[in-house]
Structure 1
């Protein structure tokens, strides 16, 4: 679990650096698919990750308004602020939390019960899905996308070797 969250954070940071080379108007431009644009998608990824982690723990959740974060620096600041809540929870994750019940109260009144492990994996998959959209948009701009490859990122210690990252 922790490896994939660390992977997502690493790839997200690489996308932020990618964005530094793109004009602000391209980052804000409305696009087909996803939540509508590059910067808005990065904001959405950060917001949803934090929201799910808050929600399964029974902590207060609120929806941020993208218009308050419509620059790369502001999205990065939000990410850093939310990471203060998310990272300790992820790093403390253990097998005993996998099957812990999360009750989701749907707008239509139904209650759905899911396992915390499912919610965590959904959160991971959510970013990976949206990163794929960013990759398509990067190609539309004629820029190579950030590599989605987990291999070679040094996220898993190899027996007898020290990672140099």
Structure 2
């Protein structure tokens, strides 16, 4: 689970760098799907990740408006501000947390119950889903998207430990 968070953070940073080559107008241009624009979708990814982690910790949810973060620099600063708390939670994850229950009250008063494991995996999948939308938009404007490849990112601790050695499997 931690590897997929690290993967998402690496891909997100790649998208931030990718966005540096676009104008503010292109980043804010209304598009079909996602949250309507490249920048708003990145903001939404960050918002949802932090919000769910805070809810699991019993803290208040994030209630800021995208209007207050409508530049690449502001969205990057927000991501940076939230990252330490999210990373700390993710790094402290252990199997005992998997089946903990969260009773979440919806706006209409209904209560949903989910395990922490479901919520954490939803958070991971949510970002991957929206990164796919960014990839489609990249192709629509004639640009190559960020690689969604999990391999070749050096995420496995076993690979990092064997970096001094050699691999018997060559691909």
Does TM, scored on the shorter chain, surpass 0.5? yes
Residue 27 of structure 2 aligns to a residue in which SS? helix
Report matched runs for 1:9-158 at 5 Å: 9-158=9-158
Q: TM-score, normalised by structure 1?
A: 0.95
Residue 158 of structure 1 aligns to a residue in which SS? helix
Q: Runs of 5+ in structure 2 lacking a partner?
A: 165-171
Q: Give the Å deviation of 1:152.
A: 1.1
Number of equivalences: 163
- Distance of 2:157 and 2:57 partners within structure 1: 29
Q: CA RMSD for the aligned pairs? A: 1.2
Give the number of the structure whose alpha-carbon radius of gyration is greater. 2
Q: Give the Å deviation of 1:143.
A: 0.5
Q: Give the Å deviation of 1:61.
A: 1.2
Contact 2:103 2:111 survives alignment (8 Å): yes
